[in-house]
Structure 1
Amino acid sequence: MVLLGHGGSGHRHSDRILSLADRITSSGCAAAAIDGPFHGERVPSPLTPAEYQGRMVAEGISEVLDRMADDWVAARDLLVDAGVADRTRQAYFGFSMGTRFGLAAALALGTGLKCAVFGKFGTQSTTALDPGLHAPDRALNDASAIVAPVLFHLQWDDEIFPRPGQLQLFDAFASADKELHGFAGGHGHTPEHAPAVWHAFIDRHLVRAARPAGCPIIRGPVPWRPADTHA
């Protein structure tokens, strides 16, 4: 199963998530996506970047990272118990905000994580983001504990996450098998051929080794629970 994390201001039904899910399920593997914190069906109506970033900062970025990781593990366990996925074979995909939360999620998945695709995120950020979101030590600590193969997608001219910080994050991964793919352009640009590169990486490390039959994409809400009721 491949867990698909969306970017900021996106949601689990965004075009990129659905397109990737189609690629993944066509390979005979399950794909699952849940809404990120203060996104999608976790809020009554869409929030602006300033609004959802402010809510994360008010709650504490480390606490939000931990709770989102718990939600990913809960979603994984639910699908495993339903017979949809194999507990021992998962991959994670997510860029930008999907990497911010994906680092903690990938680590929480434990030995079941067989590979991950990250990118468009780093240890430095510009004034485009609320400074309260800045948590470079957490990102580096989580990355340094990830030993599964990693592909990192870097937009060379990223105006939100400067290149040096992205390179520092890539260097921190403990993976013996890691790849850095750099592309010209800013944060919002993705070359048309890039999805094929991501999919080939996941296929090589996850799908070819085990091809479960009949695995669907799972679409369903996972509520964002307040801190005092989160299990």
Structure 2
Amino acid sequence: MGVAERSFRIEGATGPVPGVAWLPPGAGGLVLLGHGGSGDKRSPRIVELATWFAANGLAAAAIDGPYHGERVPAPVPAPEYQARMVADGIDDVLDRMTADWLAVVRHLGFARVGYLGVSLGTRFGLPLAAALGDRLHCAVLGKFGLRQHPAMPAGLATPDRAVREARAITASVLFHVQWDDEIFPRDGQLALFDALGASGKQLIAYAGGHGVTPPGAVEHWRTFVHRHLGEEG
């Protein structure tokens, strides 16, 4: 049998949660994939990662974030979805997305879980990783920090909450920094890395701005997750 790719729609915190899962036979762990801003559950990188994990024995799942993908009738530009999140209250948005992800974990029924998501994927990944507790075996986070560019809406900033959640994460973490990030300044990213409670945390850094992701970085993400989730126990 090959990999089963299955779309699903489950009931979440405030309505249906549209998602997709890649399920290889005998998978012992599940990788949750958080897309970036203006992306969705079937963004090319999400599909590429999910396909690689499934080919290497791990299930993968992705869902659309708030005001992304099938949660909206048409694509929403970044300034608009950011404004909507501020209007909703960013803490409520984070709590709802965390509840949606936890509903997916229950729906798919895996005890061993990993998470991979940078930028917007880390904004939503921090509270999820903290909430998963011992179920989380590893996470890839980054391109996000405790400070943001002044042009971003001030209502999106949650530095105190991010620190609390980072401290609660004890699973192994790989943290990706773009050294010249123009959206999340380097010092704020390094401060977030420092706050992580994981004893097995690692940092990788690459030259370039926020939108740059060298191919070697993606390979590093994949092998990190596979080493901690696919080859343990």
Q: TM-score, normalised by structure 2?
A: 0.86
Contact 1:39 1:47 in 2 (8 A): yes
Cα contact 1:70–1:108 (8 A) shared by 2? no
**Structure 2 counterpart of 1:221:** none
Point out 4+ residue stretches in structure 1 off by more than 6 angstroms: none
Does the CA contact (< 8 Å) of 1:149 and 1:177 recur in 2? yes
Higher strand content, 1 or 2: 2
Q: Is the 8 A contact 1:94 1:102 kept in 2?
A: yes
Deviation string for 1:92-128 (max 9, x for gaps)?
Answer: 0000000001001111222110000001000000034
Q: Residue by residue, what CA displacement relative to the aligned partner does 1:28-80 show, whole Å, maximum 9, x if unpaired?
A: 01000000111110111111111100110001101110110000000110011
- Decide which of 104, 122, 126 is 1:75's aligned counterpart: 104
- Indicate yes or no: 2:190 matched with 1:161: no
Residue 176 of structure 1 pairs with residue 199 of structure 2: yes
Query: How many positions carry a matched residue from both structures?
Result: 204
Q: Aligned AA for 1:60?
A: G
Please show how residues 129-140 of structure 1 align to structure 2 within 5 Å.
Answer: 129-140=152-163
**Which residue is 1:126 aligned to?**
149
1: CA distance between counterparts of 2:149 and 2:66? Answer: 21
Question: What are the equivalent positions in structure 2 for 1:91-102 lying under 5 Å apart?
Answer: 91-102=114-125
CA distance in 1, matches of 2:59, 2:171: 19
Q: Residue 169 of structure 1 aligns to a residue in which SS? A: helix
Kindly state the Cα deviation for residue 134 of structure 1 after the two structures are TM-superposed: 0.7
Q: Which runs of 5+ in 2 are unaligned?
A: 1-29
What are the within-5 Å matches in structure 2 for residues 80-229 of structure 1?
A: 80=109, 86-87=110-111, 89-209=112-232
Unaligned residue ranges in structure 1 (runs of 5+): 81-85, 211-231
Give the Cα separation in 2 of the matches to 1:110 and 1:135. Answer: 21
Aligned alpha-carbon RMSD (Å):
0.8
- Between the aligned residues of both structures, percent identity stands at 57
Q: Secondary structure at the match of 1:3?
A: strand
SS at match of 1:174: coil
Give the letter for the 1:203 counterpart. Answer: H
Greater RCO structure (CA 8 Å; 6+ sep): 1
Query: 1:180 Cα shift?
Result: 0.2
TM value normalised by structure 1: 0.87
Range that drifts further, 121-130 or 33-42: 121-130
Q: CA deviation at 1:195?
A: 1.1
Give, in whole Å, the separation in 2 of the partners of 1:177 and 1:46.
38
Which letter maps to 2:198?
S
